[in-house]
Structure 1
């Protein structure tokens, strides 16, 4: 089968090439992949700035149908449709984090697409406890986005704390940031979305998604705009999803006393920040990484109820062989979510 493969360590070293079809072990199933989204992590693996174990097939945001079942599996059927929790491809299963559902912190964990073979291909081998049944009302395209949607659900529903009437600053209009925006707007909150002039396309989409206003921080004074909108008080909640030092500074300076800050973006380096603001304004600082299994169940319910429309998050659909075009579109910030189709 054809696959997008990180074949060696180092920047680049990714190719579209033949790989062996997977073997169906007795305790696993084989999924025929319908759609797989391009994630920022895939770009980090491409640039070798995220831990990876080549040779490895990239991709971890996917959905598909079962085409083969191991002889020890009895609770699924061929043809059933699923979204797949790729982050738990390898886990110990018995540490305190696995047992509590916080599997992201298992020391043995490896995810699909960087730690083990992923879904930029036609078939993938999956454990049954990675499968989340797709409700009949949810298209397989949307089911491929459960993974990034679950990241946003974890941020907004399980980490951030807010009340009606709050004004929120969301800094970083990437795919995760814009999914967070959709969640916040669904709660009726006023959201200021900050980016740069390079984010123009995504900022335009943020307005369509319901943002109160958008700010290009390299052309406009974010703090003045925040003060105007909040009548000089500052925002109650700031969510940083850009993974940029200046973005963190902007969030912290925009927060009101007793405000709440949530870190979502990743940096890969140490930062220099006005950390005294945490004490002087008595800020509450939280981090958010990944999700839990409960988050995935919640996300599936949100999609089934159509409580948040994610259809317009998908801006491009490409054949798997055109993966490099998709990567370029993401690097140039000319797309939000791109789905690759192996067929």
Structure 2
């Protein structure tokens, strides 16, 4: 059962995305076909279009999708037609040492499914018959997508799919950085650099964990106002500060946890710089491959500070996605408020332009 589908494609690096009709092939063994309802427009998608994340074009974008299963391949027993699902851009084989030790976000298989399915092939082609790569084994910025079951998580059918889609990346990455990676403790002091989609979720992750002080840092007053809605107790506009690290140290006395949610080495150094003794700085943003961060080595020893990274919020998707949905249903996790604007698939170029200009917390493409 092939399907024709409109899809958002990066054909050339540093060029606007295009919307084309493509062919999505039927699922093979251990695969499912999803009819997408919604897909978030994530900064990582933008990074694929400008070469920061080196996916070879042409590539079908999208990794933050939600929809319904319309077909299952041979051997699929844990999914059925009609199931509501969210995509996971990290393929989780369940067998490698990372999966076996509770760190599936580092799965060995994921490295083999960066722009194809895990077997090295794709189920997408353009109307001329040329194969199209897919973003992180997903390619869900399309009306239909065929994914391996290792990239799919079943969710409660009562949750609106346009909200659930956000859990597939931005929410999991931000909240997970606070809750899973840093393990923010109640009563702690936290600082979040960058108040885009991931940063706002890091802020609400700190709030959910019970931090008593959450300092949001950004160059946009509008984003800082939004940060307050997600739990920030204090805000700092770094553009108006001569030395943002000194300002934050004076405000906090030294943070227990700091999060870099921009993807710049200099800001990672600032996150480390605002720590008190024993503090942990977590780099969440995806930096350019050539970017570097410099810290004073002695401060690691004498201050017992930690500089670490967080990939996909140290997610265990089959456990964490339902948990986040439970928090949403209990009104402890904000999803509706993250969506600044929705777009049709034909409006995808505008969605990317708005993302690049920093206009949205999260834009969402709706397919129905």
What is the TM-score of this pair, normalised by structure 1?
A: 0.89
What does residue range 1-343 of structure 1 map to in structure 2 within 5 Å? Answer: 1-8=5-12, 10-12=13-15, 14-88=17-91, 94-100=95-101, 101-106=103-108, 107-110=111-114, 113-116=134-137, 118-148=139-169, 149-189=171-211, 190-196=213-219, 199-220=220-241, 221-230=243-252, 233-268=253-288, 269-271=290-292, 273-276=294-297, 277-291=299-313, 294-306=316-328, 307-343=332-368
What CA RMSD, in Å, does the superposition of the two structures yield over aligned residues? 2.4
Tell whether the 8 Å contact from 2:174 to 2:201 is kept in structure 1 after alignment.
yes
Tell whether the 8 Å contact from 2:348 to 2:365 is kept in structure 1 after alignment.
yes
Distance in 1 (CA, whole Å) between partners of 2:185 and 2:78 is 42
Aligned length: 336
| 1:150-173 superposed Cα distances (whole Å, 9 cap, x missing partner) | 212331122114333221111111
Instruction: Give structure 1 stretches of 5+ with no counterpart.
Output: none
Distance in 1 (CA, whole Å) between partners of 2:73 and 2:317 is 28
SS of residue matched to 1:333: coil
Distance in 2 (CA, whole Å) between partners of 1:245 and 1:71 is 46
What is the TM-score of this pair, normalised by structure 2?
A: 0.83
Instruction: Give structure 2 stretches of 5+ with no counterpart.
Output: 117-133
Deviation of the 1:29 alpha carbon: 1.9
Task: After superposing the two structures, state which structure 1 stretch, 310-319 or 186-195, moved more.
Answer: 186-195
Distance in 2 (CA, whole Å) between partners of 1:266 and 1:219 is 25
Tell whether the 8 Å contact from 1:201 to 1:334 is kept in structure 2 after alignment.
no
C-alpha distance 64-272 of structure 1, shift in aligned 2 (>3 A) = closer
C-alpha distance 238-140 of structure 1, shift in aligned 2 (>3 A) = same
Task: After superposing the two structures, state which structure 1 stretch, 21-30 or 174-183, moved more.
Answer: 21-30
SS of residue matched to 2:201: helix
Distance in 2 (CA, whole Å) between partners of 1:27 and 1:64 is 18
Distance in 1 (CA, whole Å) between partners of 2:246 and 2:313 is 35
Distance in 1 (CA, whole Å) between partners of 2:215 and 2:354 is 25
